[in-house]
Structure 1
């Protein structure tokens, strides 16, 4: 009795390592990477072969895709039906394959969603004419056959491709520790390069790149990668290709007519719409998808005005959306030696030509064997015609005519069997003439094939002629134009905004909004219940809006991002984080280098730039140091520090004008005293500064005291001139209760 165990004991580490390596090799060789010869992965090859076995050629009536998938997974590929069907659909999508191998009827997906195809029970399919280039020589002894997974059938180890499908339709795949990304190319260009290499085996990579100028995607998007980068890509087998959408102008609109390979129109629209919702793309008014059956790609962008530079806008969209996309290239294939390797263009074409030479040699040798066999049989028929009476006598009289015939006429067993199976009508005189003509034709063909097999030059000439014929029949013009351009750069946010006049309005409760134009009566706008007008500032939509709170901190936000004045606006507390108890008290707009006077009701102030008040911090930045009980006054813009004058008004009716040059320029601080207020009159209930205004020489101001107002021209203001920190002059009795001051603007 055998007591030896029927299992093997090995360390877990060794078992796991061996199993993982076996799985890795299976994924690399049998799933993820294409074979250089026919450019197909095993599942693709089995689908194509199964469809040919079902008789689904280009002229046949299509059958349900479920029938094909059933044959594939039942006979050759024992994997999931959904994965098999998806691989089948991919080969039928004209937007995925440069030269589709399957002609699908029904819903086979769309560029918006390639995986939106219908279930296989609803669709029908057959092979395309192009698939004949992979299958045409299959039954001519050109390939090796291997048993299928259960050993009941034979399947081809590869398909006898007549053209380099590995480059024409490309491939993508992820294996274990490696991947492949081969872009599609143009048939005529690749064939031209093959012929160049056939005629000149010493042709360099630069010579081949004269023919293969770059990838050729199924879409008409531009390939903008520079020529030297494409050359480096083909030299190393690694790199990237950048493609860009194509657009035209129709009146004021921008129409996108082609998208990069594998880019969804719906995704592009979503990316643009997201920028518009975030107010990061104010140059666009609207966008529409007008794609239909006749125009598969037609995306319409509507600029906000005719002044929008379409080229600059599209440059920004190229940089921020999939309208410009980079594709990785990794020419990793399984070579003729059965090993995966990243190969350059010359290596791929050279190795494929060796594959093609071997395939044609097999085909010719197979045909030669067929001819020899047929001539051998025709020689037997010749014996019959010359000795027909003797042959008939032997067949009639002998119990075993076969050995007698073989001995009498020196025939082989095959010839003797053929004679015995010959019908009497084939012995007619007309048939003899046909057989003689067939023999002569076969002898000529045998001689021609022998010449080809013995002459490598003539064999290469045959391959060259076949390649040219196939390129002429199945080739087409390049779809992806090669136009060298620099990669797009996103525009600065300020460049995206149309400079339009706006008026920013701030309410007492801290709600803000922006109205178009400067002729806006801010006080007359509608406000929430219990709220009212506090301040307004005029500027441009491209400028920063600056807010200063009761603690002296400043906050900034782009004016174009503020909500429309059609509503009540939004609270500033949603944008900024104010200190507890603080309220926004002042507002201004301007360019970053704009100078302005910052002052407090305590009578102190300084000159600062608007840039010093700007910042991205939601908590703001401290800029004005305030005395207890003091409040921030409305900032006054300075145009010329050396010549402008500042006018300061107090609640007691004192007015002082002095040169802005007497104030220091600071980034933050309390500043210097603007006007003298006696100590006895200071304090929250005493005399305070109610407003400041900056005027140019010859300018004017308007004073407001309740319902009364008074305009002072330059000649009037001269009387209130003096040194900084002096007491100034006293206004007329009716305006000594002044509460606001404004510079008069043209």
Structure 2
């Protein structure tokens, strides 16, 4: 077998990185210019332009019968757009859906999708379509010398580069697109408002943005939902060419129910109901009792929300739903379009309108020039025909006598080749006497039209006035009232989670092994509950289901969990270590509940402590918050609730029976730390473990103090324990009834 040799002589050689860079840039520019971004002139992407042009070529006007969509798509693919049929059909669907396009170009028949599911349209072999009346805005001037024509993909046909739009469709229908390195998001606008702004700009070319926005209030989506973006934000958006617009659903009250009558643009009612139902199932929406969809042909959007009672704050409930569902939605705005120079650019509103008016004025000038050429050509022919009618016998004689009559006619009557050809093509029936009168009448009409066209083309003011009059006429013919009302409102805020939870009495129980559960009511005997083998009751706290349960561990760290999320007391609960991440070896020692501003005394067994609020103990982190700093060898004491900082006392007793009672006001209020010394226990005895702070108790001036030491508790009346009061950080007095080795404890 002979070896094959490859000859690369004459082939271009390039470094790979250079070739790859050029290839990617070429692809990027193709996507930007020929696929993703609309042109400022007609506001269309190439696939949309080709669809509309192909349908006009098929004769699918607004007055014709509908034809199968597959016929149109096949024509577009075969002649102008060699890409996927599904993408082409979807582009056609978007042009037909009244809930997607503000002013649809396609009039569809069959299943073209629904607002709940825009992708639910039938296959193209089932649906039928024709152009809508509004499509005249793009096509009526197409054959009048107004468009540049370019070859199609295989060079066998020509297609318009840009359609001669009579209205600024780039703003009216808007559009979205993702290119390489850039994107466009143009919201739809109201035809009458935009046309009025263009007319104003033609009359006053130096008008500022505020003057233009006196006509254009803002975007106008094909939905009745409110646009709640403020006037200042709308102006800033139009000034820069990018920003965002926020829409909110509209609702009414009807017999105690909330009726949602309009949804934001491209929001599905079914999805909104799913979002609300998910919150109801998660018990995060207790104020809602029922939810149903009553939408029908007469009421395209009618979602019914039934509150649990007539005491529910409807405005607060709806504000929460606006913030947590698609009932309120933000839309990005990025006015990125291909300009008249063929380059993509983000254009603010004023330059965009000026550039479109430049396009429109040039289109009208080309249309008038084309018509003027036609009129002048016809007048030229009519002059020749008139000469023939005035000399009809001689003309007939020349035609009968000469084999080549055209040169003879030209020489005899001073005609041009075009005039002579027109005379020779006359039919005999046009030689009647009446025909001369028709020619003179047509000549007079065309001369008047020629003079009018020349005046308009020769005067900038007349040309602008014509463009303005045509804009006004089209706005009157195709325009409608604004659909999306402009109502400036602040963005909605979701309700706090605690506000969504019913306020029921609750008892949180903590076991010695760190298992937690919550029982409804305050009459629960926590110690009598069933515990796991080897486990037992440790602590309990009473509160409400919309409060937080705060846990304290042996390292002085605190943790918080929503009480309503804790497992029911019908079970043995669940370990706190599954939800929290305490340090290795740490154990939970206490649980607290109450209002965030309630005060507690927090202390260590070495006699140091301080006063803090429950809010100071709250931490949303799994690792908790370092609340109490413990000296070496010290242990955490169970926090003590405070009722009145100014009037109450704090009793502290050591393990050896030394009692000291101080005013609570003498103890500092801190958010965290070690605190100040409450009772003085000799450091040597602390280090050796012989003595420590045994217990703390808060009492009022008229309360009795009961101390358990041994079998029989001892009660001290106010006049008896007054002798144990003293300054903070003192040793205190020895209780005479405490026996050595018996650890005292307060029981009241």
TM-score (norm 2): 0.80
Instruction: Please state how far the C-alpha of 1:361 moved relative to its aligned partner.
Output: 1.7
Is 1:88 aligned to residue 84 of structure 2? no
Q: Any residues of structure 2 matched to 1:627-642 within 5 Å, and which?
A: 635-642=639-646
Q: Distance in 2 between matches of 1:47 and 1:13?
A: 38
Instruction: Please state how far the C-alpha of 1:211 moved relative to its aligned partner.
Output: 1.7
Q: Distance in 2 between matches of 1:699 and 1:307?
A: 42
Which of 13-22 and 617-626 deviates more? 617-626
Is 1:479 aligned to residue 480 of structure 2? no
Task: Give the corresponding residue for 2:38.
Answer: 34
2:705–2:746 Cα contact (<8 Å) kept: no
Q: Distance in 2 between matches of 1:434 and 1:218?
A: 52
Is 1:241 aligned to residue 242 of structure 2? no
Is 1:198 aligned to residue 199 of structure 2? no
Q: Deviations over 1:14-71 (max 9, x none)?
A: 4344334433332332222222111112222111111111112222222222222221
Task: Output the aligned Cα RMSD.
Answer: 4.8
> Which of 567, 586, 593 matches 1:589?
593
Q: Distance in 2 between matches of 1:216 and 1:13?
A: 47
Q: Distance in 2 between matches of 1:336 and 1:627?
A: 79
Give the direction of change, closer, same or farther, for the CA distance of 1:117–1:465 in structure 2 (3 Å limit).
same
1:604–1:674 Cα contact (<8 Å) kept: no
Instruction: Please state how far the C-alpha of 1:186 moved relative to its aligned partner.
Output: 1.4
Q: Distance in 2 between matches of 1:163 and 1:347?
A: 16
Instruction: Please state how far the C-alpha of 1:471 moved relative to its aligned partner.
Output: 0.5
Give the direction of change, closer, same or farther, for the CA distance of 1:189–1:623 in structure 2 (3 Å limit).
same
Give the direction of change, closer, same or farther, for the CA distance of 1:430–1:487 in structure 2 (3 Å limit).
same
Which of 200-209 and 44-53 deviates more? 200-209
Q: Distance in 2 between matches of 1:530 and 1:305?
A: 47
> Which of 141, 150, 155 matches 1:151?
155
Is 1:64 aligned to residue 68 of structure 2? yes
Q: Any residues of structure 2 matched to 1:156-235 within 5 Å, and which?
A: 156-235=160-239
Task: Give the corresponding residue for 1:723.
Answer: 724
Q: Distance in 1 between matches of 2:369 and 2:623?
A: 84
Is 1:470 aligned to residue 474 of structure 2? yes
Instruction: Please state how far the C-alpha of 1:151 moved relative to its aligned partner.
Output: 1.2
Q: Which runs of 5+ in 1 are unaligned?
A: none
Is 1:338 aligned to residue 342 of structure 2? yes
Is 1:661 aligned to residue 661 of structure 2? no
SS in 2 for 1:590: coil
Q: Deviations over 1:76-132 (max 9, x none)?
A: 122222322232222223333222222233443444454444433333222222111
Q: Distance in 1 between matches of 2:264 and 2:423?
A: 66
Give the direction of change, closer, same or farther, for the CA distance of 1:657–1:251 in structure 2 (3 Å limit).
farther
Give the direction of change, closer, same or farther, for the CA distance of 1:479–1:14 in structure 2 (3 Å limit).
same
Task: Give the corresponding residue for 1:126.
Answer: 130
Q: Which runs of 5+ in 2 are unaligned?
A: 1-6, 726-731
2:603–2:628 Cα contact (<8 Å) kept: no
Q: How many residues align?
A: 724
Q: Distance in 2 between matches of 1:49 and 1:599?
A: 84
1:655–1:729 Cα contact (<8 Å) kept: no
Instruction: Please state how far the C-alpha of 1:161 moved relative to its aligned partner.
Output: 0.5
Q: Distance in 2 between matches of 1:629 and 1:14?
A: 72
1:279–1:561 Cα contact (<8 Å) kept: no
SS in 1 for 2:507: strand
Q: Distance in 1 between matches of 2:333 and 2:423?
A: 62
Task: Give the corresponding residue for 2:365.
Answer: 361
Task: Give the corresponding residue for 2:454.
Answer: 450
1:607–1:664 Cα contact (<8 Å) kept: yes
2:218–2:234 Cα contact (<8 Å) kept: yes
Instruction: Please state how far the C-alpha of 1:512 moved relative to its aligned partner.
Output: 3.6
Give the direction of change, closer, same or farther, for the CA distance of 1:121–1:472 in structure 2 (3 Å limit).
same
Instruction: Please state how far the C-alpha of 1:472 moved relative to its aligned partner.
Output: 0.9
Q: Distance in 2 between matches of 1:291 and 1:739?
A: 69
Q: Deviations over 1:595-639 (max 9, x none)?
A: 234689999987553244332343445749699999965x54221
